[in-house]
Amino acid sequence: MTAQRRSGALWRLLFAVLCAGSGLVLLGTRVEWLEAFSHFQVYAALAWIAALLLFAAVARVRAAFWRPRRALAAATALFLAHGGLIGGLWLPSSSIALDRESVKVTVLCFNMRHDLEALEAVARSLAEDPPDVVMLTETNVGLVLEGYEHVFHDQPDAIGIWSRYPLEQTRAEAVAGDRDQLSATVVIGRYRIPLLAVHWRIPIRGGQSLASETSARLASAQQHLLMLGDLNSTPWSPRMRRLSAEGLQRSGRLGARGTWAADPWHWFGLPIDHILIKGDLRIEALELLPWTTSDHRPVLARIACSNRG
């Protein structure tokens, strides 16, 4: 086999592998047991951009295919499929019109990874305007946050809610094979904000399916809900769509920006930390705070509520 033929066979093999991987990523958005693949939409789209650039710039790559136009059409179609899913995250979600009389509350969601240095860095960045409610995952036992009188902390599973306002109807919902999910109602004068704090396990470790079913069940029982936490799941997964079917909405302000990234340089990111709303709630502002020594970025939201209970 000549060098040119070997090169052509290699390009065709790489193209076939990319097509197969892309198919798994797309199927993962619909087939739950392939859900782990669905998270990689951005990286699949980037791979197809590289492939299309090679097609356009390198004659040897085009010559490797018997029907280069068909290969080009397939690459373009798959890129557009991934790009459509990514671009859809920036679309504005349906939003209710709140009453003129509504209350505003700021909420912080952060996986601190048992790292007090990371939490202190977040506290410094918010020192001038601290949030009203703090939801932390992978917290330390006995953690005290100054200025937050009302606390609901599930110590064995290291999920906690700290609030400047009273917390009522606190409850830890046990999930077989997974972490507990914390329910509470934040009381601000006449207003009531039902809150669900979660930390799903990663898909490959199991337990996430039951956790998502529990979250969906708890959400279906609430007319209004603020759900937040580290879901270890991106917006493209079937389990996130299950929450959407129960009326939970994700703001498009963050798009596909990663909230988790591999250490130590945060080079590989996925949007897996979420703040979701349902009912008489609206996300008026949403931002990612700077990276700390945790592998998760803090998510800060300002929520408007007109639910008076």
pLDDT in tens, 130-159: 999 999 999 988 899 999 999 999 776 689
Q: Is residue 115's pLDDT more than 70?
A: yes
Residues 282 and 137 occupy one common structural domain: yes
Residues 11 and 123 occupy one common structural domain: no
Q: Are 192 and 186 in contact (CB under 8 A)?
A: yes
Give the pLDDT of residue 98. 63
206 pLDDT tier (thresholds 50, 70, 90): low
Best-predicted range by mean pLDDT (267-271, 282-286, 288-292) = 288-292
Query: What is the domain range of residue 82?
Result: 3-90
Domain boundary among 24, 56, 90: 90
> For residue 108, is it within any domain?
yes
> For residue 258, is it within any domain?
yes
Structure tokens at 219: 């959400």
Q: Are 106 and 302 in contact (CB under 8 A)?
A: yes
Say which amino acid occupies 12: R
Into how many domains does the chain fold? Answer: 2
Residues 177 and 285 occupy one common structural domain: yes
- Determine the length of the chain: 309
Best-predicted range by mean pLDDT (105-119, 203-217, 260-274) = 105-119
Residues 227 and 257 occupy one common structural domain: yes
Residues 62 and 115 occupy one common structural domain: no
Give the pLDDT of residue 199. 95
90 pLDDT tier (thresholds 50, 70, 90): confident
Q: Are 24 and 81 in contact (CB under 8 A)?
A: no
Model-level pTM?
0.92
252 pLDDT tier (thresholds 50, 70, 90): confident
